[in-house]
């Protein structure tokens, strides 16, 4: 009879209780697939008396998560506390130093400390599984590490934050502005009370940071990521984008150019409405990988929530039960490279620009002159007039392929024109590659 795999769960919130529930509900099926029982030995959270809607009486409760890392009766520690640093980081390190594999959903910790943790996992020949940390129930990490392992990956694009995707989708459906839809998302439980990490693009950046490391064999480098959130997208941008034939999505993007320079960024982008990824709406996530032999691989599904995230956590536990031990980022940690980053100003793309201007003669001519002087040519232009002269109106244009450095210089020069109202112009990339 094979010995059971003994696990400890640190963190019994949304994901942790989901893992307990899934291991119980699918116990037989999991035993058959894993080839052995998976038993919960010990559990830990802050408040022992909190009602979690589950009978946890059969498991040994510990108050300090660190105690799980050194116990002889535990093979695997499942870290579901969250946060980039303590106590999750110390628990992870100590567990691995004590020869235990570790499973986590913690993208923040891996984005900031992934290189050191991968080194530690190799050194102690343990598995560090983090399938649940990117795109919840979508097996994106397995697809890249395993299914696509023979390919040179050229790029990865992801809709990686359900909150942002829900907000942008609802803004399009209802025509309402960002603030109102955010409030509604909070009421429905799709957005946190403090939504900064989601709408500011930080959560997406944590995830694309890990996907970039996996796809390109580089150290995760969170500080090198350029991050723009969705706070400045207004209902008019969504409507104008539709008029031009596009959808606005917050994308995590990692690409390698022909000279080997890496560009990792998070930004709201315009995507042609006919592309499959443009149809990924609501809280759904998508990961699009472009590789040399497999071509375009698009994975979609539920990116967060209790059940999908628990599904990914338990998939990693089953791998460990089966003895599968793939390197953390697909190659041995000592072979991970430090990426050479592409200069942001040298990114070539088409762009969408929106300014608010006084509705008076000559303004468009002044804007056109600035664009011409910076080698930027206009592809499409929409100007809406108000009834009365001199009112404020939006001017929106799309450009032909241009260098970002030139676009940025234009935006600054146009914003300084007397007829252009205060406030940042909206500059969005049009992503033709997805
Ligand atoms: N929620 C999702 O849909 C989702 C999706 C993908 C990834 N993740 C990731 O999964 C992880 C967990 O997220 P979650 O949503 O489940 O969080 P959560 O609901 O806030 O749960 C966190 C748990 O950690 C416990 N905890 C906090 N500080 C602790 C400490 N010092 N010692 C012991 N226990 C402590 C809390 O205890 P108490 O319950 O006693 O307060 C709680 O049970 C995070 O890394 C998150 O980014 C979440």
- Tell me the catalytic residues: 207
SS3 annotation, 173-239: HHCCCHHHHHHHHHHCCCCCCCCHHHHCCHHHHHHHHHHHHHHHCECCCHHHCEECCCCCCCHHHHH
The pick from 14, 44, 79, 193 for probing ligand 1's pocket by mutation, whose C-beta has the most ligand atoms within 8 angstroms, reads 14
pLDDT at 387: 59
pLDDT at 301: 98
Distance 135 CA to ligand 1 centre (A): 17
β partners of residue 270: 248, 430
Distance 424 CA to ligand 1 centre (A): 37
pLDDT at 210: 98
Question: Which class for 387: exposed (0-12), middle (13-18), buried (19 or more C-beta within 10 A)?
Answer: exposed
Q: Could you tell me where the DSSP H helices lie in 57-97?
A: 88-97
β partners of residue 399: 378
pLDDT at 384: 80
For residues 81-93, one letter each, b for 16 or more C-beta atoms within 10 angstroms of the residue's C-beta and e for the rest, the string is bbebeebbbebbb
Strand 378-383 relative to strand 392-399, pairing: antiparallel
Distance 63 CA to ligand 1 centre (A): 15
Enter the pTM of the model: 0.97
Strands (E), 321-414: 348-358, 378-383, 392-399, 402-403
Torsion on CA atoms 65, 69, 72, 73, rounded to nearest 10: 50
Task: Write out residues with Cβ below 6 Å of ligand 1.
Answer: 11-16, 44-47, 50, 65, 80-82, 87, 105-107, 132-133, 136, 304-305, 309
Nearest ligand 1 atom, CA 50? 40
Q: Which residue in 8, 9, 17 sits closest to 307, CA to CA?
A: 17
390 three-state secondary structure: coil
The rounded distance, in Å, linking the Cα atoms of 386 and 371 is 24
Nearest ligand 1 atom, CA 87? 31
The rounded distance, in Å, linking the Cα atoms of 427 and 397 is 10
DSSP state of 152: P
Mean pLDDT for each consecutive 10-residue tract of the chain (434 residues)? 93 98 98 98 98 97 98 98 98 98 98 98 98 96 97 98 97 97 93 95 98 98 97 95 97 94 97 98 98 98 96 98 96 95 94 93 93 96 74 93 97 94 88 93
Q: At what angle do helices 162-174 and 178-187 cross, to 10 degrees?
A: 120
What's the chain's length in residues?
434
288 three-state secondary structure: strand
pLDDT tens readout for residues 367-406:
999 999 999 999 999 988 765 666 889 999 999 999 999 9
pLDDT tens readout for residues 337-364:
998 999 999 999 999 999 999 988 899 9
CA distances from 233 to 54, 168, 412 (A): 41, 9, 18
CB 77 within 8 A of CB 8: yes
pLDDT at 425: 87
Strands (E), 257-377: 262-272, 284-291, 295-302, 348-358
User: Which single residue is written with the structure tokens 């603030």?
Assistant: 179
């Amino acid at each position: 009879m094979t010995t059971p795999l003994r696990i400890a769960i640190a963190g019994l919130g949304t994901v942790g209780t989901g893992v307990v529930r899934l291991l119980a509900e699918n116990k037989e099926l999991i035993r058959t697939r894993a080839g052995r029982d998976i038993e919960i030995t010990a559990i830990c959270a802050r408040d022992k008396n909190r009602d979690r809607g589950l009978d946890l009486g059969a498991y040994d409760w510990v108050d300090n998560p660190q105690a799980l890392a050194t116990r002889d009766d535990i093979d695997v520690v499942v870290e579901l506390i969250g946060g980039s640093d303590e106590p999750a980081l110390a628990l992870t390190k100590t567990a691995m130093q004590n020869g235990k594999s570790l499973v986590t959903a913690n993208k923040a910790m891996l984005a900031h400390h992934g290189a050191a943790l991968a080194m530690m996992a190799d050194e102690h020949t343990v598995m560090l599984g983090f399938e649940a940390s990117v795109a919840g129930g979508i097996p994106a990490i397995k697809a890249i590490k395993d299914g696509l392992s023979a390919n040179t990956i050229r790029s990865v694009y992801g809709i990686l934050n359900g909150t942002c995707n829900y907000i942008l989708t609802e803004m399009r459906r209802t025509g309402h502005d960002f603030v109102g839809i955010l409030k509604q998302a909070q009421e429905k439980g799709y957005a946190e009370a403090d939504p900064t990490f989601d709408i500011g693009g930080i959560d997406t950046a944590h995830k694309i940071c890990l996907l970039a490391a996996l796809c390109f064999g580089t150290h995760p480098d969170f500080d090198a990521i350029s991050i723009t959130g969705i706070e400045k997208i207004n209902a008019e941008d969504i409507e104008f984008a539709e008029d031009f034939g596009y959808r606005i999505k917050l994308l995590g993007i990692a690409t390698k150019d022909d000279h080997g320079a890496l560009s990792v960024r998070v930004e709201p982008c315009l995507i042609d409405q006919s592309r499959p990824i443009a149809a990924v709406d609501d809280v759904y996530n998508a990961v699009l990988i472009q590789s040399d032999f497999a071509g375009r691989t698009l994975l979609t599904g539920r990116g967060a929530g209790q059940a999908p995230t628990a599904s990914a956590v338990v998939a990693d536990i089953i791998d460990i039960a089966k003895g599968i031990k793939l390197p953390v980022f697909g190659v041995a940690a000592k072979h991970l490279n430090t990426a050479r980053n592409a200069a942001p100003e040298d990114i070539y793309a088409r762009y969408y620009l929106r300014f608010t201007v006084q509705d008076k003669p000559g303004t468009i001519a002044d804007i056109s002159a600035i664009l011409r002087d910076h080698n930027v040519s206009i592809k499409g232009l929409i100007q809406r007039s108000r009834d009365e002269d001199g009112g404020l109106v939006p001017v929106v244009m799309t450009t032909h392929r241009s260098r970002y450095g030139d676009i940025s210089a234009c935006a600054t020069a146009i914003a300084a024109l007397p007829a252009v109202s205060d406030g940042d112009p909206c500059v969005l990339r049009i992503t033709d590659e997805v």
